[in-house]
C-alpha cells in the first residue's frame, strides 16, 4: 500500500489509539488500478464513500475496504 502523510493517529478519551489512513482520489485510482474519473464516478453514485475536509476529498481505508467487500458480495 501507499504511505501517505494523511494518516493521522488519534487518541480517544479511553487512551486507545485509533489510526486512520486517508487516501486521495489519485491514490485510490492507483491502488485499484482504475482511472481517476472512475473513482469520482463511484463516489458520485454512492458506491464508494468519501469524506471532505474543506475542499479536499479523502477516502479512508475503511471506505476502501467496504467498497472492495461490496464487490466481493456482488459476485455471489
What is the per-residue pLDDT for 17? 81
Asked whether residue 39 is domain-assigned, the answer is yes
What is the per-residue pLDDT for 49? 97
Quick one: average pLDDT of 37-66? 97
What is the per-residue pLDDT for 6? 52
Q: Where are the beta strands (DSSP E) in 4-61?
A: 8-11, 17-20, 22-23, 51-53, 56-60
31: CATH: 1.10.10
Domain of 19? 8-75
**41 pLDDT higher than 50:** yes
- Under 8 Å between Cβ of 4 and 56: no
Asked whether residue 62 is domain-assigned, the answer is yes
Asked whether residue 49 is domain-assigned, the answer is yes
**What is the spatial distance between Cα 48 and Cα 37, in angstroms, rounded to a whole number?**
13
Asked whether residue 2 is domain-assigned, the answer is no
Asked whether residue 12 is domain-assigned, the answer is yes
Q: Which three cell numbers stand for residue 36?
A: 481517476
Report the chain's mean pLDDT, rounded to a whole number. Answer: 86
The number of folded domains in the chain is 1
Asked whether residue 64 is domain-assigned, the answer is yes
pTM (predicted TM-score): 0.73
Asked whether residue 1 is domain-assigned, the answer is no
Asked whether residue 50 is domain-assigned, the answer is yes
Amino acid at each position: 500500500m501507499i504511505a501517505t502523510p494523511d494518516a493521522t493517529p488519534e487518541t480517544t478519551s479511553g487512551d486507545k489509539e485509533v489510526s486512520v489512513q486517508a487516501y486521495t482520489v489519485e491514490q485510490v485510482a492507483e491502488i485499484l488500478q482504475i482511472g481517476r474519473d472512475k473513482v469520482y464516478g463511484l463516489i458520485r453514485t454512492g458506491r464508494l464513500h468519501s469524506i471532505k475536509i474543506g475542499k479536499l476529498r479523502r477516502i479512508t481505508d475503511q471506505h476502501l475496504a467496504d467498497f472492495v467487500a461490496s464487490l466481493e458480495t456482488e459476485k455471489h
